[in-house]
């Protein structure tokens, strides 16, 4: 199986006609992902390498059967793009856009969560289920299919650790980059729950970093609800006191959020 994206994924790329949306949307298509539509207001009726472009996500759902959205729109429009996807009936939203204001994301979060929508991001590399579908900017060619589920706050570490697993002959069921912003659509716990229920996933790797308390929350959840082995890597043990990582969510407050505190919790 896999989680979040798979052979049943029918992807619509919001912002497909932009440079980033086009580049990565076509890479996803070339990988084998079923990219059924793009959306750019005012450009309906056009196409990008054979992928039809619609003015609205609702049209992409009604006419192309889209069920998953990949967002490549400027930060000032990203929250509205999330609302549009959710209102159109999209069940899975993956937002690559960075610099989305935290207060806008917080409002969006309280809107889509009660509706049961799965959202990944913003400021994330997306989701890859090797051999099935790639939705985002993950370099799929360095991963292979297998039984290790990987979830990470860091995009670069997602690639590094996933590739090392491939080099060791250990492929991945799904790779999920949840994003490094203070407010993201899915937490470690949300993804751990999905991996626990996924028959293909036999072991889970969780990649965290200094700042926040998501890893500590995940540690408690793992102890109470996860039966599969979990290995974790925490970046930032050598960071000087007061040093922040590059992500907006990597902020240490007092003794909370340090690498040592996360290690002890795990």
Which residue, chain included where needed, has tokens 């994003």?
179
Question: Which amino acids are annotated catalytic?
Answer: 247
Report the C-alpha gap between 204 and 194 in whole angstroms.
Answer: 11
Peptide bond into 122 cis (omega under 30): yes
Per the rule left: phi > 0, alpha: psi between -120 and 50, beta: everything else, 3 is beta
Question: HEC string of 229-256?
Answer: CEEEEEECCCCCCCCCCCCCCCCCECCE
Residues 6 or more apart whose Cβ sits within 8 Å of residue 215: 188, 206, 208, 232, 234, 262, 265, 266
Fill in the DSSP letter of residue 213.
S
Residues 6 or more apart whose Cβ sits within 8 Å of residue 17: 38, 40, 43, 46, 48, 53
């Amino acid at each position: 199986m896999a989680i979040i994206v798979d052979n049943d994924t029918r992807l619509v790329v919001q912002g497909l006609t932009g440079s980033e949306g086009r580049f990565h949307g076509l890479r996803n298509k070339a990988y084998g992902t079923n990219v059924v539509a793009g959306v750019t207001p005012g450009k309906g009726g056009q196409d990008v390498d054979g992928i039809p472009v619609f003015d609205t996500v609702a049209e992409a759902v009604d006419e192309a059967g889209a069920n998953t959205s990949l967002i490549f729109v400027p930060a000032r429009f990203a929250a509205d793009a999330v609302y549009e996807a959710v209102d159109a009936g999209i069940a899975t939203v993956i937002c690559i856009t960075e610099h989305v204001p935290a207060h806008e994301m917080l409002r969006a979060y309280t809107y889509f969560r009660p509706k049961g929508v799965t959202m990944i991001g913003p400021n994330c590399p997306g989701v890859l289920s090797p051999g099935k579908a790639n939705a985002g900017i993950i370099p799929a060619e360095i991963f292979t299919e297998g039984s290790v589920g990987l979830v990470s706050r860091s995009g670069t570490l997602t690639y590094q650790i996933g590739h090392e697993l491939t080099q060791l002959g250990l492929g991945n069921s799904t790779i999920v980059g949840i994003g490094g912003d203070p407010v993201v659509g899915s937490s470690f716990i949300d993804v751990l729950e999905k991996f626990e229920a996924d028959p293909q996933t036999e072991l889970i790797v969780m990649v965290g970093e200094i700042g926040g308390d998501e890893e500590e929350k995940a540690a408690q959840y793992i102890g109470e609800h996860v039966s599969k082995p979990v290995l974790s890597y925490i970046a930032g043990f050598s960071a000087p006191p007061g040093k922040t990582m590059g992500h907006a969510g990597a902020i240490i407050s007092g003794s909370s959020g340090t690498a040592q505190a996360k290690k002890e919790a795990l």
